[in-house]
Structure 1
Amino acid sequence: MINFSKKTICLIFVSVVIMLASCENDNETREPLHEIFEVGNPSANAKKVLMHYLAWFGEGKEGRHWSYGTPRKPLIGYYSSQSWATHLYHVLLSSAVGIDGAIINVRTDYDQKSFDMFVESIKRIDEIYPDFEYSISISYDDQDATESAALSNFSHLKNDIIPNTRHYLTKNGKPVIYIWNYDGFLTSQEYRDIANTIFTSNAPILLKNDLDLDAVPGKYVMNSIYPWVQGWTNEGSNWGEGYINWFYNTQIDFKLNNKVEFVTGAVWPGFDDRNVSWGQNRWIDRKNGETYGKLWNLINKTYENKVDWVVLETWNDFNEGSEIETAEGEVDYQYLDLTAGHIGTYKGKPSLIDSEKWMLRAAVKIYQAAKLIEDGNRNYAIYYPKLQKSIEQYLKTNGQKSFELADEIITRL
């Protein structure tokens, strides 16, 4: 039998009282859980912010496209673009910072498969929140494009994708298609003719990153034009100021003269292809968020209320260093936090990101938990329902609770 002195017993008693008081204070300081879905809540706001999204990655540092080199490494590691855990992470995180959807770049069969899987992955969120609003659009990469391939791609989109998801991006009820231009392949008019051939009714909205100075008023071969990253120099100082101001002034004039239907802007945090195998030593210095802020200020101040849609360039082009997705070593999820603030100003609504960054931290935990389930390292029948509970709390902006629930999957609690 163990004998405790009165002094020891007293110390134990005091310690227990302090511990209980600490727990009680923790419960008192924690806010009550929100009961309303906030992330992806349907909105009537006509202003949209969409992210250019690369779906060409294969898992691991030597995986598809990662092996070509990157200046930064994703916070969650070298992920696969065909993983539903990756898709959940990207959709939840981007939606939480105010992004309305993803413009997914498609050039190869791998990209197209990733796109199709991305569409399927969002259904996992729909099961939890049936009214979840998040748009997906396709961006056809014009490099090596042929008329027959474009006809096949547009046909697949019309017949196999759009009818099977409520998430495909539309404007005024019409599907939206982006074209990423390469000189020497299909022209804007050829894309319009192909679109009208496949979509015999309800002709789609087309956007291209190539301003047609010969556009005819009222014809709308391209319904809008979006700018693309410009301005690089060897020392990284040129962020595209001259180009983007010319672009906005020209496109705003085009809208006034019925040469485009709406004005699309763009922002980029920087650019750096010096580490990638196809690089051309092009660099736009991020300047710790200053470059990103200058481009957003053009939209929110200089051309306030004149830019209808915004394209983020990019969410995850780690190869060319233009990503806003969080990278290893980045302090406090810098670019996602900045994005939430800038979008809040653009749309005139408050950010959903809390000061403690639980909403950003929880998304990472959700990915880690989901990946364990996806890879078969956690029993699906037992742990997937727990993951759904974590996602539900995330969608209700209960970031800390979501974090804790996901962490229970990781630690097997």
Structure 2
Amino acid sequence: MNKTKIFLLAIIGTITTACSSDSGGGSTEPELEILAPVTIAKTNNTKIYAHYMAWFETNESSADSNWGYHWTMANRNPDIVDANGKRQIASHYYPMIGPYHSGDKDVIENHLLMMKYSGIDGILIDWYGTYDLYDYKIIKDNTEQIIALLDKVGLEYAIVYEDRVLTNIVNADKAPSVTAAAKTDMNWLQSHYFNDSNYIKIKDKPLLMDFGPITLTTPDQWATAFSNLNPKPTFLTLWNESGEAGNNASGEFAWVYQNNTHLSNFYMNRLPDLDVAMGGAYPGFHDYYQEGGAGGALGWAIDHNNGATLDATLSLAENSGVDYVQLITWNDFGEGTMIEPTKEFGYSYLQKIKAFAGITSADVFTNISKLYDLRKTHKGDAAIQKKLDQSFYYFVSMQADKAIALIDGIE
């Protein structure tokens, strides 16, 4: 066979292959258009971050097919479903999407899109380190799943370290000392997170927060933990605790306690002395520990007041002039501080944050919820999931009208 004939056959084969890929001779299915995230327009320059718990597990996600502790505490059973379709969980409040697995991509997508359209700039992930003990590794693994989607949505992140667990690590013979265990965790953060382009940087250094200190309570201990880090992080402790970290600390962050007076005192008395300060805003506090058999009553609560508490704490932050505000919290259902949409409060908290951020565009929260519902309804349908993937990219690129049109066409 001569070269000319071979060449002609190759052309015919190519044409035949292209035609056979058409459905019934029509046009091929459009390719997924992967779009870069676009920042939502807002008039408030204050950075808004949401404190995020990555510790939730369901009976489908856990290795032992049991619901995780943070949905059950000591005496709740989410397999019990009431007449309204609500599972029995360890909370006074119920997530709009139901109790979930923190590593579920559909859940993460829902949460991050809700945040983006309410003007939240990023998340502060409550993190228990790298060691495989209790549920610490589960939290780390879930965190990895969350981080994998953050840059696609266009949100930042930083770590809130729980140094309280270090004693447990040593007692389990997984590290020779609490400082050695902390150093291992810090080295891991530097290698895996701190250099990410969307890791939060303050004063050109990675932000690291600590919920305490609880275990490392001297400047020398923190100096040892940070000894391999370059640069050293912009390190914030819980309010009034920076002295325990000494010169290693750059400042403090506010939290929720008893009443708004503590927040006012932080802005008035601590803020002037801090190089870096992160304010706080919360919708209320109503823990479930006593009802859930997880401990005694704390003896205090902060009423949600139909949203007035969130309004008041956002106003305190704005009047203080802080550059950074932490929303306390996105999803701590056990303490009742969640701003995540719930059956009780709907999207009202997100709408308040949206107003604080200075966003004037129309709400799309119900449409984001519909995207989640369609993800679950059509879980095994690859063609529909591809359309939903496209709607996700329209959402992150601030083309909400296209995203809505696409999902509205799916039953």
- Please classify the TM superposition score into its range, dividing by the shorter chain length: 0.7 to 0.9
Identical residues among aligned pairs (%):
24
> What one-letter code is carried by the residue in structure 2 that aligns with 1:243?
H
Tell me if 1:251 matches 2:270.
yes
The C-alpha deviation readout for 1:160-200, integer Å capped at 9, x for no partner, is 2344x4221112321111101154x112625641453121x
Change (3 A) 1:161 1:38: closer
| Contact 1:143-1:182 at 8 Å conserved across structures | yes
Kindly state the Cα deviation for residue 73 of structure 1 after the two structures are TM-superposed. Answer: 0.9
What is the rounded CA distance, in whole Å, between the counterparts of 2:352 and 2:398 in structure 1?
18
What is the rounded CA distance, in whole Å, between the counterparts of 2:137 and 2:252 in structure 1?
26
Tell me if 1:403 matches 2:404.
yes
The C-alpha deviation readout for 1:211-261, integer Å capped at 9, x for no partner, is 147589xx7421120111111xxxxxxxx232112111122220xxxxx32
Change (3 A) 1:182 1:263: closer
Output the TM-score relative to the length of structure 2. Answer: 0.73
Aligned to 1:316: 331
Aligned to 1:17: none
Uncovered stretches (5+) of structure 1, i.e. residues with no partner: 1-35, 126-131, 232-239, 255-259, 345-349
Aligned to 1:288: 306
Aligned with residue 211 of structure 2, among 146, 159, 180:
180
What is the rounded CA distance, in whole Å, between the counterparts of 1:212 and 1:329 in structure 2?
35
Kindly state the Cα deviation for residue 365 of structure 1 after the two structures are TM-superposed. Answer: 1.8
What is the rounded CA distance, in whole Å, between the counterparts of 2:122 and 2:189 in structure 1?
17
Change (3 A) 1:243 1:397: same
Tell me if 1:120 matches 2:148.
yes
What is the rounded CA distance, in whole Å, between the counterparts of 2:243 and 2:182 in structure 1?
24
- Equivalenced residues, count: 333
| Contact 2:314-2:356 at 8 Å conserved across structures | yes
Aligned to 2:99: 78
| Contact 1:324-1:336 at 8 Å conserved across structures | yes
> C-alpha root-mean-square deviation of aligned residues, in Å?
2.8
| Contact 2:96-2:343 at 8 Å conserved across structures | yes
Aligned to 2:219: 189
| Contact 1:365-1:403 at 8 Å conserved across structures | no
Uncovered stretches (5+) of structure 2, i.e. residues with no partner: 1-34, 61-65, 74-89, 129-135, 167-177
Output the TM-score relative to the length of structure 1. Answer: 0.73
The C-alpha deviation readout for 1:141-165, integer Å capped at 9, x for no partner, is 12222222211211111112344x4
> What one-letter code is carried by the residue in structure 1 that aligns with 2:387?
K
What is the rounded CA distance, in whole Å, between the counterparts of 2:385 and 2:220 in structure 1?
46
> What one-letter code is carried by the residue in structure 1 that aligns with 2:138?
Y
Tell me if 1:363 matches 2:368.
yes
1:196-215 to structure 2, matched below 5 A, reads 196-199=226-229, 201-212=230-241
| Contact 2:242-2:252 at 8 Å conserved across structures | no
> What one-letter code is carried by the residue in structure 2 that aligns with 1:300?
E
SS at match of 1:78: coil
1:7-406 to structure 2, matched below 5 A, reads 40-41=39-40, 47-59=46-58, 63-64=67-68, 65-68=70-73, 69-107=90-128, 108-122=136-150, 125=152, 133-145=154-166, 146-163=178-195, 165-181=196-212, 183=214, 185-187=215-217, 189-190=219-220, 192-199=222-229, 201-212=230-241, 220-231=247-258, 240-254=259-273, 260-274=274-288, 275-278=291-294, 280-281=297-298, 282-301=300-319, 303=320, 306-331=321-346, 333-344=347-358, 350-352=359-361, 354=362, 357=363, 359-371=364-376, 376-379=379-382, 382-399=383-400, 401-406=402-407
| Contact 1:88-1:121 at 8 Å conserved across structures | yes
Change (3 A) 1:362 1:191: farther
Change (3 A) 1:173 1:43: farther
SS at match of 1:158: helix
Change (3 A) 1:383 1:162: farther
SS at match of 2:406: helix
The C-alpha deviation readout for 1:98-124, integer Å capped at 9, x for no partner, is 11100010121111111111111235x
SS at match of 1:263: strand
SS at match of 1:82: coil
What is the rounded CA distance, in whole Å, between the counterparts of 1:182 and 1:52 in structure 2?
17
